[in-house]
Structure 1
Amino acid sequence: MSDNSSFGSTVKFGHNVKTLFRWTGSTYRLVWKEFIIYTMAYIGLSIVYDFALDDDGKKGFEDISAYCSKYTSSLPIILLLGFFTSTSMQRWFSLVHSMPGTTRVIASFVMSIKEGQPEGYQIVEQYSRWIVLGWALTFRLICKPLKRVFPTLVSLENAGLLLPHERLQLESEIASNHPIVVVQWNLALLKRCNRQGMFMDFSDYQRNQDNLMTFKKSCGDTIKFAAKNIPFALIQAVTITVYSYGLASLMARQLTDEHTPTSFTIRYFPVLNAFQYFLYYLWLQFGRLAAYPFSDDENDIDIKRLLQAHVDDAVRWQSLYSSPGLTEQIVSHSLHNSSHEWMVNSFTLVRSKVWLKLIRLNQKNLACPKAQRGLISEPLANGNNQESALM
């Protein structure tokens, strides 16, 4: 038992060390340039103080250093950073939860269309394409990397997400209304399918309509959260505060006598000053990343990869209607050759774990004083009732 625990502790320690020295997506990648600039400026000021100033200059330098020290202690930097970061993270969570998904709305439509319809595959393909198109048009409004991939509606047409006559109609609308227009196309397609009796059940029309309106609401919420960004004045105020603290901390350093053991370290290695400042700087960077998560940074949401994933999912759901033979063969073969050994093995595993727990409880019961044996529940404390407790 102790060997297993020590092995688990070793693995956990190794994982923590690996995480600590990871470069991709790390805090080191966010601050390494600024850290080099800060260190060079700090050492440069130390060289100026030690070798370029006379006694009167050093006296003035020390006065400025003392003034900067009082200035840094009076800044409400923690209050501003806390408010800014909490606001950014709340907005980030709201934005992530409001992001639309395509799987539910496409899968519900595919599974509700009757098989063998004359235009069944074309309708399923068009419905799925319009859902993915609405998703792409939504994030094209708020995501600059996706905007660079599809700068115009012609680029969407070249990618196969848009047809020429559809592009002409979208060009007559403003860009912010493009996702709504595509949803209207799908609503008209649902009405046509209902009029032609293509749904398996009379309730499928209403259910698909509800899913489509939920998709529309998610697209609208995503645009709303991205458009109503955090006020620029707040970001500017926090940025000025952090950078002014960093500039002041270059001078607000403790000047020691030349013969103290730590004088060289304090003058030429800004360990404590840099550590405190870059904690604030990282806090600011996290707030900025959360305020706009659709950029090109590796910590941002990869919208281009998400779009490709939605396209792949749509193609798979279309194949479930167009060529269901392979899937039906797998289901039929599994039904006729089903194995229940997994159930027996799982029950045996659970039963063995329960017995081990009962044995340990009985061992604790034997080790307990007589006055404390009543604390153990009766079915588990009584060895004759172990089978009834298991059941």
Structure 2
Amino acid sequence: MTVTYSSKVANATFFGFHRLLLKWRGSIYKLLYREFIVFAVFYTAISLVYRLLLTGAQKRYFEKLSIYCDRYAEQIPVTFVLGFYVTLVVNRWWNQFVNLPWPDRLMFLISSSVHGRDEHGRLLRRTLMRYVNLTSLLIFRSVSTAVYKRFPTMDHVVEAGFMTADERKLFDHLKSPHLKYWVPFIWFGNLAAKARKEGRIRDSVDLQSLMTEMNKYRSWCSLLFGYDWVGIPLVYTQVVTLAVYTFFFACLIGRQFLDPTKGYAGHDLDLYIPIFTLLQFFFYAGWLKVAEQLINPFGEDDDDFETNWCIDRNLQVSLLAVDEMHMSLPKMKKDIYWDDSAARPPYTLAAADYCIPSFLGSTVEMGLSGSDFPGEDWLWSYEKHGHRRSVIRKVKRFLSAHEHPSSPRRRSYSRQASDSSMFFPPSGDVSPARDLLDVPSRSYHRAPGTPNQTRSPEGSIKMYSSLGELSTIRETSRTSTLQSLSPQPSVRVSPTKMPQVPEVVLFSVANSAPYFLPWFADDEALAAPPTGQSKMSASPT
């Protein structure tokens, strides 16, 4: 029977595995105690012979042999070979458990698709489900020693009710040198097709769904048969076993405590009992025992699969589902949350600690101190009233790898495509804006096909600025400018909470077509002389 201890490790506590270390059934102690006793007895015998029976010359020879074995035993790759082997065995073991045949999906389809509450309909559903369980029984008999001991012959299968006498005759009459676990599949398909012709299965889609699920069930059975047929290569198992036992055979001699008076390196103490060698044997040999137990989970070890229980459970549940529960429905009633739009099941006092509020995001409870930043105010209001940054915030900005766009050292302004995009110079420092407003007029190349516009009286560049402290420069959107710009542009009025901001409109020298100052214009380009050819060229939007 499989050893289950999940409830004992549900919570992580201080020294929580101590209860598991005291268990005997399914433990490493039960698996390894024989080998451990044999290793300890051999080590003790060799130690007694060295100490009591050997002469002086023989002791010197044994000591050289012990040092030699200890030196070259470490060259055996026990950890690598054993670790990879155990990983392969554990993965194979889990895949076999995942592919155990469970008839639940088939019994749901049979109960809902095969109609008829009369005796013939009941017989039809139970027979289909019996064929399904017979298939898994034949597979388990071929791979599990526990199931084979329970059903050693086909007569036992007939006596157990999985097969009738007539079906046994047909089964034995079919001559095949191979395992005939697939025969009940054929019976299942023929009987399902007959039920479709009789109208018991009313739709071909239901028949197709039934056959599809039966094929999946057949795949699970075939996979278990394949795992039993093709195992881990024998040579790999032999290599791992030889590596482990050869290593510890060398340890029997190489890990002996030698005479400390001889001055051998690493033999300064004589403890008689090799504690760490015994622990090493316990771990490595126990690792090998784990692989030995899991390589075939259909045996009779403590942690092998309970295949006999699976057979009993599947038969009972499947027949109950297709017979007594066929078209069995409870009376529908209004649930207790009928008029409650926010249904919440109650908690007991023992589970009160698990009643937690809904998760609304990791930043919900994160607050900003008022001295650091007024989180409810907009940035322009923050700059307008002349709020100063705290010392901590300035240090954070100074240490930040990303330079703030409002740093006084940056003279180039980023541009966005939105009409509401803004540039924010630092509070109290408007020198970059003044430099931008004091740019002398220059000529720009006009792209071909641009319609002529009335030239501005001021020349190629016309700028409007408001008096007072400049806090924001708004750049006009390309789309809105082409739609609403007149030959005599006027200052746009900002929203109520917005301060009065100037707009920058650029016109070409040739035909006064509107241009926008490129975002990559640097100080050198803005300081170009008013006469001569400009260093930058722009195309009309």
Output the TM-score relative to the length of structure 1.
Answer: 0.81
The answer (yes or no) to whether the contact 2:126–2:323 under 8 Å persists in 1 is no
Greater Cα shift, 44-53 or 185-194: 44-53
Distance 1:352 1:300 in 2: 39
**Aligned with residue 235 of structure 1, among 214, 222, 237:** 237
Match of 1:380 in 2: none
Q: CA RMSD in A?
A: 3.4
Relative to structure 2, which stretch is displaced further, 221-230 or 14-23? 14-23
Match of 1:249 among 248, 251, 256: 251
5 Å-filtered alignment, 1:268-279, equals: 269-279=273-283
Q: Quick check: 1:115–1:321 contact (8 Å CA) kept in 2?
A: no
**Structure of greater Rg:** 2
Q: Which residues of structure 2 form unaligned runs of 5+?
A: 1-8, 377-541
- Measured in 2, the distance between the counterparts of 1:356 and 1:207 equals 41
CA distance in 2, matches of 1:28, 1:264: 28
Partner SS state of residue 280, structure 2: helix
Q: Which runs of 5+ in 1 are unaligned?
A: 1-7, 375-391
Flag the 1:306–1:61 CA change in 2: closer, same or farther, 3 A: same
CA contact (8 A) 1:69 1:249 kept: yes
AA matched with 1:354: P
Q: Find out whether 1:338 has 2:335 as its counterpart.
A: yes
Q: Distance in 2 between matches of 1:167 and 1:282?
A: 46
Match of 2:289 among 285, 288, 291: 285
Distance 2:46 2:354 in 1: 71
Structure 1: distance between partners of 2:135 and 2:10: 49
In the alignment, is residue 188 of structure 1 matched against residue 190 of structure 2? yes
Matched residues in 1 for 2:240 and 2:374: separation? 58
1:171 and 1:361 mapped to 2: Cα distance? 72
Counterpart of 1:311 (choices 311, 315, 318) is 315
1:28-80 CA distance string (max 9 Å, x none): 22111111111122122222111122211211221221121123111122222
Aligned CA distance change for structure 1 residues 151 and 55 (closer, same or farther; 3 Å): same
CA contact (8 A) 2:260 2:269 kept: yes
Alignment of 1:53-92 (within 5 A): 53-92=54-93
Asked if the contact 1:117/1:198 (under 8 Å) is kept, the reply is no
Comparing 204-213 with 285-294, greater Cα deviation is found at 285-294
CA distance in structure 1 between the aligned counterparts of 2:214 and 2:149, rounded to whole angstroms: 28
Alpha-carbon separation, structure 2, partners of 1:33 and 1:336: 63
Name the structure, 1 or 2, with higher relative contact order (CA <8 Å, separation 6+).
1
Partners in 1 of 2:65 and 2:86 — Cα distance?
32
Alpha-carbon spacing, 1:136–1:117, altered in 2? closer, same or farther (3 Å): same
Contact 1:107-1:317 at 8 Å conserved across structures: yes
Over 3 Å counting, the alpha-carbon distance change for 1:187 and 1:14 in structure 2 is same
Deviations 1:67-112 (Å, cap 9, x if unpaired)? 2112311112222213322322232233223322211112211111
Alpha-carbon distance in structure 2 between the residues aligned to 1:290 and 1:67: 36
How far apart are 1:118 and its partner, in Å?
4.8
CA contact (8 A) 1:141 1:176 kept: no
Does the Cα contact within 8 Å between 2:89 and 2:291 map onto a contact in 1?
A: yes
- Where does residue 150 of structure 1 map in the other structure? 151
In 2, Cα distance between the equivalents of 1:27 and 1:168? Answer: 48
Q: What SS does the corresponding residue of 1:74 show, helix, strand or coil? A: coil
Q: Sequence identity of aligned pairs in percent?
A: 21
Amino acid at match of 1:67: Y
Instruction: Provide the C-alpha distance between the structure 1 equivalents of 2:363 and 2:355, rounded to a whole number of angstroms.
Output: 12
Distance 1:17-1:136 versus aligned 2 partners, 3 A rule: same
